């Protein structure tokens, strides 16, 4: 990642001749200095994807004027696009239940400034990590999820997320199913870590499922949350090899290490604006 101040243009549109020329020409016309550029044309969907980092002080205007001037080009290209400022950190709201490893890892990366984000609050359906979170100076909200109070609980979660102006919600081993209404309210803005190499072993107890099946690789998957359980667009995955001598407890222990690293990588790709949705798949410019 660049150390200087930059803007990131992220876009997709129907593929055609001249897209790069139009976009790069606009940037050059205003003396913009391109620091990094990535492109991908999907032959199956006929869509073109791009990510461009532009040195902020090379342009004679800020983002509002960029958006105004670039809008006619984007409209002509039928482009879905956004431009962001590296100086504005994404606001990450973390949800967690009773497994600590992903929460601990994310807060350690945040505290060491490896993960350049703001964490305005942590939400949990249990009180286990209240002291730990508040020790970091982060507000902690306990929202129990009861059989008869799920609707009210998720309404409160959504209210808090809006109140703190969250950019992305991270389920750091939050062991509850997010209702469809919340998924639809924030498409591409809720990230989950699932403790299996999806699409294998969806749902609960995937390590036990893997053990019973006798697989030789286990993994973890960072993906966007949709109304269909564990079926959202995948951002990042990784695996570790196991053998016949490993118990279920061994699989869980190995898996925790993968879950932490995969979630951290997937979240970093997201907050650095490196992920574009492509139907139920993603384009990730690493």
Domain map of the chain by residue range?
A: 6-85, 90-284
Which of 116, 40, 121 is CA-nearest to residue 84? Answer: 116
pLDDT tens digits, residue range 109-129?
A: 999 999 999 999 999 999 999
CATH H superfamily, domain 6-85: ACT domain (3.30.70.260)
Q: Is the pLDDT of residue 1 over 70?
A: no
Sheet of strand 90-96, all strands in order from the earlier edge strand to the far edge: 140-142, 117-124, 90-96, 168-171, 190-194, 217-224, 234-241
pTM value surpassing 0.85:
yes
pLDDT band at 197 (very low <50, low <70, confident <90, very high): confident
Same fold, 6-85 and 90-284: no
Taking residues 97-104, report their average pLDDT.
97
Confidence of residue 229 (pLDDT cuts 50, 70, 90): confident
Angle formed by the axes of helices 63-76 and 19-29, nearest 10°: 150
Which CATH fold would you assign to the domain 90-284? Rossmann fold (3.40.50)
| Catalytic positions | 230
């Amino acid at each position: 990642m660049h150390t200087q101040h930059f803007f990131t243009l992220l876009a997709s549109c129907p593929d055609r001749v001249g897209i790069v020329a139009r976009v790069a020409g606009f940037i050059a016309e205003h003396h913009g200095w391109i620091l990094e550029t990535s492109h991908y044309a999907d032959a199956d969907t006929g869509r073109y994807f791009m990510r461009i980092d532009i040195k902020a002080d090379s342009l004679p205007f800020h983002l509002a004027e960029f958006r105004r001037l670039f809008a006619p080009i984007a409209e002509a290209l039928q482009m879905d696009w956004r431009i962001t400022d590296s100086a504005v950190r994404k606001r990450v709201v973390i949800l967690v239940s009773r497994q600590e490893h992903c929460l601990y890892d994310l807060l350690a990366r945040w505290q060491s400034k490896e993960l350049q984000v703001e964490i305005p609050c942590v939400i949990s359906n249990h009180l286990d990590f209240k002291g730990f979170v508040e020790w970091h100076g982060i507000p902690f909200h306990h929202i129990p999820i009861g059989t008869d109070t799920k609707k009210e609980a998720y309404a409160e979660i959504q209210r808090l997320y809006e109140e703190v102006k969250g950019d992305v919600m991270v389920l750091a081993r939050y062991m509850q199913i997010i209702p469809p209404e919340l998924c639809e309210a924030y498409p591409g803005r809720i990230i989950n870590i699932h403790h299996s190499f999806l699409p294998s072993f969806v749902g609960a107890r995937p390590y036990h499922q893997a053990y019973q099946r006798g697989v030789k690789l286990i993994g973890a998957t960072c993906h966007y949350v949709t109304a269909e359980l564990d079926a959202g667009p995948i951002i990042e995955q990784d695996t570790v090899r196991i053998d016949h001598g490993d118990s279920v407890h061994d699989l869980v222990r190995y898996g925790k290490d993968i879950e932490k690293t995969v979630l951290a990588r997937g979240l970093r790709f997201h907050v650095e604006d490196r992920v574009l949705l492509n139907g139920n798949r993603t384009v990730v410019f690493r």
